[in-house]
Chains A and B, each alone.
Chain A
Amino acid sequence: MTLLLRAIVAPDDAAAGDDLGLATVSAVAVAALASPWDKARIAGEPELLDHHRIIQSVFERVPCLPARFGSVFPDEDALHSRLAEREVDFASQLARLGHRCELAITCAWRDKGVNSPVSIVPASSGRAYLERGLQRTRSDREREVRAEAIVARLLSELATEPSFVRHRTCPRPAVAVSMSALVTRDEIGGISSRLERLGAQLPDVTIVVQGPWAPYTFAVSE
């Protein structure tokens, strides 16, 4: 039976996926929760969101490490073999991350103009073309500087260990900052309130906070 890996949990928590139709493959220190998967099935957005729904269901019950979408194994033996190779690392990560959640903090530019595509209208001259490119470069740099300033404000409001925060500035034209924060559940209310107040002070971005999610960004593989 082909299996799609969903999450890694402690062996004692393996039953958390029973009513979700998940198969359990146990090693000594951790267990893998996986769904039967038709290897001919073609994945798209519904399958991605279903992956998230299943992980969240597990995460609401027990500490878990979310699996990146797409790890398919031909059978339980193949999954067990891979799991056994990595179980010490996964057990360590579970102990460190399992009780924490990920908040996704996104700062989207309010100004629609920052997303304007490079003009497809031919420049009237070579000089005009270069000047347009220079203007674009300056604009990008200004946005990058502004995004870094926003990051500083966010970090100040989060007031957490640097290792518990990851961020990217200007990852896409619409987004100034994409940040992930590793928090405890009892910190979420306070953080959300502080970020809401911060959002009211920032005229150029809209802050969107999502979560709590399983710690996708902080669960890593070597």
Chain B
Amino acid sequence: MARIPLRRDAMTREGATLDVPLVELVDRLLNRGVVLTGELTISVAGVDLIYLGLSVVVSSVDTIRRAGAEV
């Protein structure tokens, strides 16, 4: 089972342009759907980088909302 490195900087930067509906989609892409193993496929040293990446995106979205952007 291989692992995909995550472009975390890109997620952070591009996440700033995401809105709430897109976060809903990203959540499904990263956290739902079938997997063929019981283990996380994107991880380093036991830390799920994809999950961390999503958290960054979500954080960015909420920052945008606080700044007054439309949902």
Binding site for B on A (CB under 8 A): 2, 4-5, 8, 32, 37, 39, 41-45, 48, 51-52, 65-74, 78-79, 82-83, 85-86, 90, 93, 102, 104, 106, 108, 110, 112, 115-117, 172-175, 178, 180, 206, 208, 210, 213-214, 216-217, 219-222
**With A69-B29, A70-B42, A72-B1 known to touch, is A79 a contact of B36 (CB < 8 Å)?**
yes
Q: Give Cα distance in the complex from A222 to B27, angstroms.
A: 19
How many chain-B residues does the 8 Å CB contact rule pick out? 42
Contact A66 B30 (CB under 8 A): no
Contact B20 A175 (CB under 8 A): yes
Which chain B residues have a beta carbon within 8 Å of chain A's beta carbons? 1-7, 10-11, 14-15, 18, 20-21, 23-38, 40-42, 50, 57-58, 61-62, 65-66, 68, 71
Quick one: given A117-B66, A208-B21, are A216 and B33 in contact (CB under 8 Å)? Answer: yes
A68 to B10, CA, bound (A): 20
Q: Name 8 A/B residue pairs within 8 A (Cβ), A-sorted.
A: A43-B42, A65-B33, A69-B30, A70-B4, A71-B37, A172-B61, A217-B28, A221-B34
Distance from A130 Cβ to chain B, minimum over Cβ atoms (Å): 24
Cβ 8 A contact of B36, one of A71, A117, A173 = A71
On whether the beta carbons of A174 and B20 are closer than 8 Å, the reply is yes
Using CB atoms, name the residue of chain B closest to A79. B36
Closest to A65 in B: B34
Q: Which residue among A83, A117, A173 has the maximum number of chain B CB atoms within 10 Å of its CB? A: A173
A112 and B41: CB pair below 8 A?
no
Instruction: Select one of A66, A72, A106 contacting B3, CB under 8 A.
Output: A72
Once bound together, how far apart are the Cα atoms of A83 and B35, in whole Å? 10
A70 to B61, CA, bound (A): 23
- What are the residues of chain A within 8 A of B42 when measuring CB–CB? 43, 70
Additional pairs, 10, CB under 8 Å, beyond known A68-B30, A216-B33 = A5-B36, A41-B4, A42-B7, A67-B36, A68-B31, A70-B50, A72-B3, A214-B33, A216-B32, A217-B28
For residue B40, which residues in chain A have a CB less than 8 angstroms away from its CB? 70
**Residue contact B25 to A210, C-beta cutoff 8 Å:** yes
